[in-house]
Amino acid sequence: MHCHATRLLALMIVVLSTGSLSAADWTQFRGKGGLGISEETGLPTSWSSSENIDWKVEMPGPGASGPITLGDRVFITCYTGYGLEPAQGEQAGLVRHLLCLNRKNGETIWHKTFQPKLPEHKYQGEGSYHGYAASTPTTDGKRLYVFFGKSGLFCFDLNGEQLWQSSVGDGTNRWGSGSSPLLYKNLVIVNASVESGSLVALDKMTGQEVWRAKGIGSAWNTPLLVPGKSRTELVVSIANHVVSLDPDTGEEHWRAEGVHRYVCPSVVFHDDVVYAIGGGHTSLAVRTGGTGDVSKSHGVWRLKKGANVSSPIYYKGHLYWTRDGSTVCCQNPKTGEMVYEERLRPGAGRIWSSPVLADSKLYYVSQHKGTFVVAAQPKFKLLAHNTFEEDDSRTNASPAVSNGQLLLRTDRFLYCIGKK
């Protein structure tokens, strides 16, 4: 009996060390379900360059991608060699980076570099908002999936060995490529609006294309899986429409009137209602479960207020998002009525990363003005404004929440922020 227990313990250790998923892992863009919410508590409210920093590590270069965590590892992407200064350098110097770091101290476990497929979009400073490493990786606990626009979707094992690479299109856009891969059953799904005007589903084991849904225009957001009573829907917000597809086949379930402009924010849902914002001046709600054009039959409400880039969060009967960077909003999801619109003080400048919510706190990360921590309640309350005095580089990435800590990357560093 003792020997059997010993062998069982040894097997459990092997399984855990090779990347099984746990509740503390943050394995995709916006965390579990892509909703930007963590159930963890005890997270820090305040920090600085010297306060509540468990570790920080300098990145090889910038990136708008967020970190993900899996057990004792952190995965993150960067780029170097081009796209650092407007009208400088040659695209031939562009290099992509994929790093695996020790979750406990930030030390590098392995570091992969690879060349892009050229030509890429021309870097013109703030007109090229996403740079060349904007997609947050994802993992199923055994493999790692990384998207680099026209260079394709890559699959690695957890030791950094490339298993396959697949193209989803050769298109580029002056704003770059911004969506992140999504896992569903045996598929990895990518919004390749920029690259081919499509949603593309690949076999996650082989990289072979399983289905392709066309007509995905001007969308930089990551699709969302919405579970329902009779089916799971794959919902994405594109120019002019919110669209629901069958994630197994790519066939369209329904579409509703959406944002009449390009769309960066990802949708969120609660129960059977999907909420979409975008274009800087639109927010809307639509019920799932329909067929065909459901704009009238399933449209719940529509308001001429919304966010341009940052995604919303649904939490305890309210929607939270940021408009025009410095204004944070709370909205009634049943009616669309605004509960509050408050301008952050001191000014937040642009906020293009999507917020996360944990420990009843909303974390809004500004490009250049630090992180604003706001109480997740329908009455506005600013809890803290945190900056890194020794790091004034840009931040376009959303944080990850893991093991009671925040992992926050700027264009210079990755910080592990925790209470001390």
Query: DSSP states of 174-185 as a string?
Result: TT------EEET
Between 125 and 48, whose confidence is greater?
48
DSSP states along 61-109: S--SPPPEEETTEEEEEEEESSSSSTT-S-GGG-EEEEEEEETTT--EE
pLDDT in tens, 145-196: 999 999 999 999 999 999 999 999 999 998 899 899 999 999 999 999 999 9
Region label for 17, one of left (φ > 0), alpha (ψ between -120 and 50) or beta (otherwise): alpha
Which 3-state string (H, E, C) describes 381-415?
CEEEEECCCCCCCCCCCCCEEECCEEEEECCCEEE
The answer to which of 24-38, 82-96, 177-191, 297-311 has the lowest mean pLDDT is 82-96
Q: Taking 80 as the threshold, does the pLDDT of residue 402 lie above it?
A: yes
Query: What pLDDT was estimated at residue 124?
Result: 81
Helix (H), strand (E) at residue 274? strand 273-278
SS3 content of the chain, % helix, strand, coil (to 5): 10, 40, 50
Domain range list for the chain: 19-418
Query: What pLDDT was estimated at residue 127?
Result: 55
Q: Taking 70 as the threshold, does the pLDDT of residue 128 lie above it?
A: no
Average pLDDT value for residue range 389-396? 92
pLDDT in tens, 375-389: 999 999 999 999 999
The answer to which of 3-12, 255-264, 299-308, 327-336 has the lowest mean pLDDT is 3-12
Q: Taking 80 as the threshold, does the pLDDT of residue 266 lie above it?
A: yes
Query: What pLDDT was estimated at residue 32?
Result: 95
Q: What residues pair up with 269 in beta bridges, in sequence order?
A: 274
Tell me the backbone φ, ψ of residue 195, rounded to 5 degrees.
-80, -35
Task: Give the position of tokens 């780029």.
Answer: 79
Cβ atoms 203, 221 nearer than 8 A:
no
3 state DSSP class of 345: coil
Residue 209 DSSP class = E
Query: What pLDDT was estimated at residue 13?
Result: 38
Buried b / exposed e along 226-241 (16+ C-beta atoms within 10 A)? beeeeeebbbbbbbeb
Which residues touch 419 (CB under 8 Å, ≥6 apart)? 42, 43, 44, 52, 404
Query: What pLDDT was estimated at residue 163?
Result: 98
Q: For residue 69, give both structure tokens.
A: 């965590």
Q: Taking 50 as the threshold, does the pLDDT of residue 240 lie above it?
A: yes
Q: Taking 70 as the threshold, does the pLDDT of residue 8 lie above it?
A: no
What amino acid is encoded at 267 in this protein? V
Query: What pLDDT was estimated at residue 310?
Result: 94
Q: Taking 70 as the threshold, does the pLDDT of residue 18 lie above it?
A: no
Q: Taking 60 as the threshold, does the pLDDT of residue 9 lie above it?
A: no
The answer to which of 2-6, 93-97, 223-227, 360-364 has the lowest mean pLDDT is 2-6
Class of residue 304 by CB neighbours under 10 A (exposed 0-12, middle 13-18, buried 19+):
exposed
Query: How far, in Å, CA of 191 to CA of 399, rounded?
Result: 21
* Nearest CA among 188, 277, 263, 178 for reference residue 225: 188
Buried b / exposed e along 351-374 (16+ C-beta atoms within 10 A)? bbbbbbbbbebbbbbbbebbbbbb
pTM score of the predicted model: 0.93
Average pLDDT value for residue range 83-107? 91
Q: Taking 60 as the threshold, does the pLDDT of residue 114 lie above it?
A: yes
User: Strand order of the sheet with strand 338-343?
Assistant: 313-315, 318-323, 327-331, 338-343
Query: What pLDDT was estimated at residue 10?
Result: 38
Contacts 24+ apart (CB under 8 A), 155-161: 155/188, 155/204, 155/207, 156/98, 156/112, 158/18, 158/19, 158/70, 158/73, 158/100, 159/110, 160/98, 160/100, 160/110, 160/111, 160/112
What amino acid is encoded at 169 in this protein? G
Which residues touch 6 (CB under 8 Å, ≥6 apart)? none
Average pLDDT value for residue range 311-333? 94
Query: What pLDDT was estimated at residue 7?
Result: 38
Q: Which CATH number fits domain 19-418: 3.40.50.670, 3.40.50.12280, 2.30.31.70, 2.140.10.10?
A: 2.140.10.10
Handedness of CA 82, 148, 311, 24 (dihedral sign): negative
Query: What pLDDT was estimated at residue 332?
Result: 98
Q: What residues pair up with 371 in beta bridges, in sequence order?
A: 365, 386
